[in-house]
Structure 1
């Protein structure tokens, strides 16, 4: 089973420049997230709090559907699913 993690331009420098990271063998969102930050450890501080929760300012989408925080850890993934992380942007 393969799932794909899509990363916006703001996160790519922390993932060796990759815009898409393919992960094999992860059955749940939590497993996929662990595999992602294991492969690209510099993403951890950009996505996760010190307790391991995803920051509130990071939107998470599964196949273009926004996920609720309560759904994430145990959410079962299927072959071909695409997970996207979208950090909020600020400017002025």
Structure 2
């Protein structure tokens, strides 16, 4: 028996899909932490970087992050451990009038 690959999904709202080749969901394998998964997402879709993270690599304050429908704050990002089947949703705030 071979080792099973852990898989997580990052869901992207409509506003971010043009920067991710139109993908609504991006499946990633073997990422144990939120930061690793985010780095992998940006490596796969570099145009997302300016929409999600600052120049120093931290997630913008206006981007809400949910793990399995639970909102998590920026202070939790380094501590978030992802498991097989977890779903991370990234939601940038919308502005307009």
TM-score by length of 1: 0.98
Q: In the TM superposition, what is the alpha-carbon distance from 1:6 to its structure 2 partner?
A: 0.1
Number of equivalent positions = 92
Superposition pairs of residues 12-51 of structure 1, within 5 angstroms? 12-51=17-56
Alignment pair present for 1:10 and 2:19: no
Greater radius of gyration (CA)? 2
Provide the aligned C-alpha RMSD in A: 0.6
Correspondent of 2:71 among 66, 70, 79: 66
Structure 1: give runs of 5+ residues left out of the alignment: none
Contact 1:58–1:85, Cα closer than 8 Å, also in 2:
yes
SS at match of 1:70: helix
C-alpha distance in 2, partners of 1:56/1:70? 11
Q: Which residue of 1 aligns with 2:3?
A: none
Contact 1:8–1:85, Cα closer than 8 Å, also in 2:
yes
C-alpha distance in 2, partners of 1:18/1:78? 22
